[in-house]
Amino acid sequence: GVFSTEYLDRLPLILKRKGAQNIMTVRSDDGMDEFSTSATNRVCILKNDKVLMNAINPEVVGLHKSKLKDIQIQTKKDAIKSFVGVLNNTANQAMIETTALNAAGGLIVSNISKNFEEGVELALNTIKEGKAFNLLEKFIAHTGDISKLKELANG
Q: How far is CA 64 from the centre of its chain?
A: 15
Average pLDDT for 29-37:
96
Domains of the chain: 5-153 (3.40.1030.10)
The per-residue pLDDT for 146 is 77
- The pLDDT score that the predictor gives to residue 153 is 75
Q: Burial, 12: exposed, middle or buried (Cβ in 10 Å; 0-12, 13-18, 19+)?
A: buried
Please tell me the pTM assigned to this model.
Answer: 0.91
Share of the chain above pLDDT 70, in %: 99
> What pLDDT, on the 0 to 100 scale, is given for residue 155?
64
Write out pLDDT tens, residues 44-79. Answer: 999 888 999 999 999 999 999 999 999 999 999 999
The rounded distance, in Å, linking the Cα atoms of 36 and 67 is: 9
| Arithmetic mean of pLDDT, 118-123 | 98
pLDDT tens-digit profile of 89-107? 999 999 999 999 999 999 9
